[in-house]
Amino acid sequence: MLNALPKSAQPGARKALQDIYNAEDRDLAVKAIKTFAQLYGTKFPKAVKEITDDEAELLAFYDFPAEHWIHLRTTNPIESTFATVRLRTKVTRGAGSRTAVLAMVFKLVESAQQRWRAVNAPHLVALVRAGARFERGQLVERPATVAA
| 18/32 Cα distance (integer angstroms) | 9
Q: Measure Cα distances from 33 to 42, 90, 134, 143 in Å.
A: 14, 41, 22, 32
- What pLDDT shows up at residue 145? 59
- What pLDDT shows up at residue 37? 93
- What pLDDT shows up at residue 95? 63
- What pLDDT shows up at residue 77? 66
Name the H helices within 1-148.
10-21, 26-40, 45-53, 55-58, 69-72, 76-92, 98-113, 123-130, 144-147
- What pLDDT shows up at residue 94? 64
127 touches 139 (CB < 8 A): yes
Which residues in the chain show pLDDT less than 50? none
- What pLDDT shows up at residue 146? 55
- What pLDDT shows up at residue 115? 76
- What pLDDT shows up at residue 71? 79
Q: Is the pTM of this model over 0.85?
A: no
- What pLDDT shows up at residue 118? 77
- What pLDDT shows up at residue 4? 82
| 9/65 Cα distance (integer angstroms) | 34
